[in-house]
Amino acid sequence: MRLLLAFVLPVMMGAVGCAMQTKDRAADEPLPNHPMVRVQGIDGTFFTGELLNGSVTVDSGQGPLTLMTDHMNTIVFSNEADTVDSASVKVSGKIKEPLFQLKSEHGVFILVKERLKRIEFVRSGTSNGATSPAMASTNPNIQPAKSRQALIIP
């Protein structure tokens, strides 16, 4: 009996310890956080959801620039030049990504760049709380980022 207890007790303690370690690691890992956006298509269609693209590469006069999407305010698509606006970078050029992935309560949509007009990145908890009617979201906790003039580089 002692031999069985001597064998079972360490095994049980090890299993409990492994379960505790797994639980602690899972609690410490942050969940992926994608920026909330409102996408306008060239036909006037609007989508609201999470942009799953982590970055956007713009082929500009400075060469190819890869920008993180979680720091962007707007992306405007045009035949002449696409424009990306953030707090620290305003750049025009051609966006290399042909597809954008948008996750909403309806699933994941694959949006083709040529069929898009604008992507507005919305931030929750903006200080002024103002929204434009075109950017009004169905979720009252989501507010659009402030609009800015984009610098177009020829």
pLDDT value for 27: 54
pLDDT beyond 90 at 132: no
* Residue pLDDT, tens place only, 70-108: 999 999 999 999 999 999 999 999 999 999 999 999 999
Give the closest residue to 81 by CA, choosing from 90, 94, 91, 72.
Answer: 94
pLDDT value for 33: 83
pLDDT value for 4: 47
Higher-pLDDT residue of 138 and 52 is 52
pLDDT value for 139: 45
Sorted by sequence, the CB contacts under 8 Å of residue 54 that are 6+ apart come out as: 68, 69, 70
State the pTM of this model: 0.62
pLDDT value for 110: 97
CA distances from 47 to 44, 72, 89, 108, 147 (A): 10, 17, 25, 11, 18
Give the torsion sign (CA, 69, 70, 72, 74).
Answer: positive
